[in-house]
């Protein structure tokens, strides 16, 4: 297992180097690992476009007209959903064309989804750049086989994979050309419902720095080699082996996972996931598109698709309003009020009012990183306190006018029991700044009980445009007010105050990755009363029951390296509030932690990027 860093952070590195430094501690081990992967794309269904629906919706009504004409369901998926069949010509050329455009477009406006009809595809290498998703259209990953690769590498960033965000692979079987597929990603890059008939290498070519990542409902027949990956969460999957660990590797419900051994090596392993429900996905039934809704599992282990037809229900595309960029929030809300679900095709959606999801069982599914931008300080999306809402696969990008909240799951005071049919929030990512000035007081608020937040990255940008301590001000990342909420794969970074605040009872988090805000100008700017700095993860003083596994917080105060952070985690000291496998890390000595949780745990050690750990608290 690699144990030495691949590089050493330099004091005063610019914020744009933040991921560079974060990777500096990633162990670089030479090992076999091969390149790229492949995928095809290029056809679309026919039907009424949402732009036509928008036009129809905007026709003025006469005084006697009491009701707007119904909005159509289904329709064309638009120009940025590129659909391939096994006989489609020019698949590799189309993949390469989009990759060339998206490879380094970290804050660009392009958004793409490649969809592969069931069948076999030979000799492809689908390299994925920013805001690019690839997926099969079968009910099982094995329905769509690529004899080739689906590759993420880091040539665009000189072999540094720590900024390989916002891309995804889903529902495909891969037979890698070299026997090993390369998936060198960082945050917001899920690998879901995949079958790799070989190994999986999570490091870039050359084994440079990497900071990921997330796998769910997948089977990797060979070994997974994280190599330089600093942290990783794998859920409800099967692996043929796991090669090494750097700081924080967490597994729940994974067949073949390494045994519990934190902190040496830093493996946190739960035999099962307490509650899970896989992300909805688009598939083809004959020539018709449908959306499959996997059922909830309790104490889950292994994939959902290995033994026969997956369990769940499906909806025809005709029950979805197929939204296209440029559609108004009023039209989206009219579609929801009419009883339709939402399918957000790739692109950017400006909102002058919140999307209101009020009906039980509503699905809001994004393709190709559809992006919601709230204008004039509104909330992007909020839900009612009802059963079974599913939000999945989109990005919320804060606007230049401060939003009090960006995403609200349930109204304040929500109290209904949703244990039988919870709301799920999956691959929903939030960004404040980076693509331009953005501001929000609290990014995500979870009020509804039993909500499952399954893989999110809530990020106050530390690089890009519109970035500065006050420029992209965002005090709080996630606030959980609801009881019985479960987070599986929680990535929250760089907020001006608390990154996570948890006030609900019986909350649980499996895997947490955090960096404190790099750009704090001085100690006074982060002072929290008499406490030095705001904890990354704060459990409310009134909470009596809470539990977390595999939680890590890192600091890199590069503007003022003398800043001291009292602890990464703060919680009531009572028996019902439990933590397992905690760590804090000072990246190259830029800032220091005095403790890990409350007043427990050793301080970080000078300029050496070595985690300080607590195995069990209290």
Q: Is 469 exposed, middle or buried (0-12, 13-18, 19+ CB in 10 A)?
A: middle
Give CA torsion, residues 187, 189, 192, 196, to 10 deg: -110
167: nearest Cα among 103, 94, 223:
103
Supply the DSSP symbol for 263.
Answer: T
How many angstroms separate the Cα of 108 from the Cα of each of 264, 349, 466? 41, 14, 14
- Contacts for 464-467: CB closer than 8 Å, 24+ residues apart: 464/106, 464/107, 464/433, 464/434, 464/435, 465/107, 465/433, 465/434, 465/435, 465/436, 465/437, 466/400, 466/433, 466/434, 466/435, 466/436, 466/437, 466/438, 467/15, 467/433, 467/434, 467/519
Supply the DSSP symbol for 53.
Answer: H
Maximum alpha-carbon separation in the chain: 75
357: nearest Cα among 302, 309, 428:
428
Element containing residue 583 per DSSP (H, E): strand 577-586
463: nearest Cα among 452, 454, 472:
472
* Paired sense of beta strands 577-586 and 612-617, if any: antiparallel
201: nearest Cα among 407, 424, 37, 88:
37
Which one from 54, 515, 547, 594 is the annotated catalytic residue?
A: 515
- Neighbouring residues of 308: CB distance < 8 A, sequence distance ≥ 6: none
SS3 275: strand
- The dihedral region occupied by 158, where left means phi > 0, alpha psi between -120 and 50, and beta the remainder, is left
Q: Is the peptide bond before 265 cis (omega within 30 degrees of 0)?
A: yes
- Neighbouring residues of 488: CB distance < 8 A, sequence distance ≥ 6: 233, 235, 252, 273, 276, 452, 453, 454, 455, 509, 510, 511
Tell me, yes or no, if 515 is annotated catalytic: yes
Supply the DSSP symbol for 512.
Answer: E
Residues in the chain: 618
Residue given tokens 């390369």 in the structure block: 182
* Paired sense of beta strands 281-285 and 288-294, if any: antiparallel
What are 350's two structure tokens?
A: 């400006």
Q: Are 552 and 582 in contact (CB under 8 A)?
A: yes
- The dihedral region occupied by 52, where left means phi > 0, alpha psi between -120 and 50, and beta the remainder, is alpha
How many angstroms separate the Cα of 531 from the Cα of each of 182, 257, 523, 534, 566? 43, 39, 11, 8, 7
Q: What is the CA radius of gyration of the chain?
A: 23
- Neighbouring residues of 259: CB distance < 8 A, sequence distance ≥ 6: 267, 269
12 half-sphere exposure, CB direction, 13 A CA radius? 0
Catalytic residues: 515
């Amino acid at each position: 297992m690699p144990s030495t860093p691949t590089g050493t952070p330099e004091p005063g590195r610019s914020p744009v180097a933040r991921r560079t430094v974060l990777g500096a501690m990633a162990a670089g081990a030479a090992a076999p690992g091969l390149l790229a992967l492949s995928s095809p794309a290029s056809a679309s269904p026919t039907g009424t476009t949402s732009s036509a629906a928008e036009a129809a919706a905007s026709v003025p009504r006469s005084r006697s007209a009491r009701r707007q004409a119904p909005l159509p369901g289904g329709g064309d998926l638009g120009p940025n959903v590129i659909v391939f069949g096994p006989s489609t010509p020019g698949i590799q050329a189309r993949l390469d064309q989009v990759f060339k455009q998206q490879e380094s477009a970290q804050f660009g406006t392009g958004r793409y989804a490649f969809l592969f009809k069931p069948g076999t595809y030979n000799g492809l290498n689908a390299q994925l750049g920013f805001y690019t998703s690839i997926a099969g259209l079968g009910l099982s990953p094995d329905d769509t086989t690529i004899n080739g690769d689906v590759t993420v590498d880091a040539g665009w960033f000189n072999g540094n994979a720590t900024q390989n965000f916002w891309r995804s692979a889903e529902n495909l079987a891969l037979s890698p050309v070299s026997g090993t597929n390369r998936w060198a990603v960082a945050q917001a890059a899920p690998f879901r419902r995949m079958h790799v008939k070989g190994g999986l290498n999570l490091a870039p070519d050359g084994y440079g720095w990497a900071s990921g990542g997330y796998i769910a409902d997948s089977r990797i027949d060979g070994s997974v080699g994280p190599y330089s990956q600093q942290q990783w969460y794998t859920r409800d999957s099967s692996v043929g082996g796991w090669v090494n660990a750097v700081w924080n590797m967490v597994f729940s419900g994974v067949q073949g996972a390494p045994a519990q051994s934190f902190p040496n090596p830093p493996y946190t392993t739960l035999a099962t996931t307490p509650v899970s429900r896989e992300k909805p996905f688009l598939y083809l039934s004959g020539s018709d598109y449908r959306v499959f809704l996997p059922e909830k599992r309790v104490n889950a282990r292994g994939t959902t698709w290995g033994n026969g037809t997956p369990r769940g229900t499906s909806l025809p595309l005709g029950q979805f309003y197929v939204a296209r960029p440029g559609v108004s929030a009023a039209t989206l809300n009219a579609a929801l009020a009419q009883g339709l679900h939402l399918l957000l095709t790739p692109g950017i959606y400006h909102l002058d009012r919140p999307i209101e999801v009020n009906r039980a069982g509503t699905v809001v599914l994004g393709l190709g990183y559809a992006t919601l931008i709230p204008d004039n300080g509104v909330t992007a999306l909020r839900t009612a306190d009802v059963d079974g809402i599913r939000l999945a696969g989109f990005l919320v990008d804060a606007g230049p006018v401060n939003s009090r909240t960006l995403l609200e799951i349930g109204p304040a005071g929500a109290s209904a029991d949703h244990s039988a049919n919870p709301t799920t929030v999956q691959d929903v990512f939030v960004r404040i700044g980076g693509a331009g000035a953005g501001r929000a007081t609290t990014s995500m608020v979870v009020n509804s009980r039993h909500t499952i937040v399954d893989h999110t990255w809530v990020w106050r940008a530390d690089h890009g445009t519109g970035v500065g301590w006050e420029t992209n001000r965002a005090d709080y990342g996630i606030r959980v007010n609801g009881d019985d909420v479960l987070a599986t794969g929680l990535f929250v970074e760089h907020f001006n105050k608390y990154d996570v605040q948890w006030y609900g009872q019986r909350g649980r988090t499996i895997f947490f990755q955090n960096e404190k805000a790099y750009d704090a100008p001085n100690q006074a700017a982060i002072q929290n009363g008499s406490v030095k700095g705001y904890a990354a993860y704060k459990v409310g003083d009134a909470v009596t029951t809470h539990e977390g596994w595999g939680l890590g917080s890192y600091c890199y105060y590069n503007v003022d390296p003398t800043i001291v952070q009292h602890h990464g985690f703060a919680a009531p000291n009572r028996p019902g509030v439990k933590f397992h496998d905690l760590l804090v890390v000072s990246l190259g000595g830029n800032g220091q932690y005095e403790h890990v949780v409350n007043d427990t745990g050793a301080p970080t050690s000078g300029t050496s990027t070595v985690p300080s750990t607590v195995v069990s608290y209290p």
